[in-house]
Amino acid sequence: MLDVGEAGDDPKGQDMVTRLQSITPASLVSAVDLFCGAGGLTHGLLRAGIKVEAGIDLDAQMRHAYEKNNPGVRFLCWDLSRKNCRSIKKLFRHGAIRLLAGCAPCKPFSKLTNGVENHEDWDLLDNFGRFVRGILPELVTMENVPELADRGKPVFDRFIETLERCRYRLDQRIVLCPEYGVPQARKRLVVLASRLGEISVPDGRYRDPGRWKTVRQTIAGLHRLEAGEQDPRDRLHGAPLLSPTNLKRIRATPHDGGTRHSWPDALVLECHKKKSGERYHSIYGRMWWDKPAPTMTTLCTGIGNGRFGHPEQDRSITLREAAMFQSFPRGYEFWPPKEKVNRSAISRMIGNAVPPNLAEVVGRAIMDHVSAHQVLSKRQSR
């Protein structure tokens, strides 16, 4: 059992009605983004009208992307495992409804690490729960990989138990990102919790697969590239150089959803000839033009890491394309202009990000929830 930590507000929420009655629409929600990365969650919350005060991440490489694209929001390079609740609590704007938001790094819970409990990031969700207990913000949202509720079940159960013991009403759901305007077949676990009243994870507007945004709609207008070529107008739109053998492989892969199963035997890797290699059918595959992209990972610009081949051009996708599949705006700047692009760092930023379009839908649901309870509290006080 985790320790209780520092005391937050009155757990019975006796000052909640007073707080709701005193705030104005322009200052409804004040948020702090934990494990903020390059700012995908913050960017979506800002678009929803939420005032994000600060983003916190241990990785200093995230600072430029976070601050450049989210003007007026501070980036704090903090190790949250070493911070107390007071240091987070003082970041919120006085008198506003507080939202503690975040996406703890998902490596411990992903399929790639098989949920090993000795992973260095395993306790980060516990720290999130510690801040919830110590601050008692009116609102909490947490987003992560779906496997958290399975492979990470003990730590996830502790987090949910913390919310329930602190008198939150909560909802949790595994959502499909294309339903929220993200051109990517990504599934995410979303948790919403409120001490104001009942709250629900919102439905996406695009429940019909025929309305999902596709690869074609997302990247067809970008500059055409050969493997190893760079768009002179966009440093992130550069196709990685392929080895002569991999160039032969992508050329032998049929356009629009083709796979390695069409290759001549001479190009097939030995590991894929074994029974155990049959399940990796998407490796070296091309995307489909008229479907959403596959899930973007931290290695999504390498054709040997998944179905990350361009649907038509003989190359893997670029960093810019990967970012757009995550629903980042076309001009989102990930790296300082005067510094050499660090492809691996940017790939990590993109693959680990909360899709801004998903974050915006969640943010709008939060704003609607607060507004509704503000109106209700005023009626009750008459």
- 164: in domain: yes
- C-alpha 43/C-alpha 55 separation (Å) is 11
179-198 pLDDT, tens per residue? 999 999 999 999 999 999 99
Show the domain range for 37: 16-205+354-381
- 144: in domain: yes
Which strands sit side by side in the sheet containing 139-144, from one edge to the other?
Answer: 74-76, 51-56, 29-34, 97-102, 139-144, 187-194, 169-176
- C-alpha 299/C-alpha 319 separation (Å) is 10
- 212: in domain: no
11-62 pLDDT, tens per residue? 444 455 555 455 455 458 999 999 999 999 999 999 999 999 999 999 999 9
- 5: in domain: no
pTM: predicted TM-score of the whole model, two decimal places: 0.88
- 132: in domain: yes
Which amino acid, one-letter code, is at 119? Answer: H
- 103: in domain: yes
Q: Looking at residue 127, which CATH number applies to its domain?
A: 3.40.50.150
What six digits make up the tokens of 19?
């707080």
- 11: in domain: no
Least confident of 2-6, 49-53, 106-110, 304-308: 2-6
Residue 360 has pLDDT above 70, yes or no: yes
User: What's the total number of domains in the chain?
Assistant: 1
- 296: in domain: no
State how beta strands 169-176 and 187-194 pair. antiparallel
Q: Detail the DSSP E strand segments found in the chain.
A: 29-34, 51-56, 74-76, 97-102, 139-144, 169-176, 187-194
For the annotated catalytic residues, the residue numbers are: 106
106-156 pLDDT, tens per residue? 555 445 444 444 444 457 899 999 999 999 999 999 999 999 988 778 899
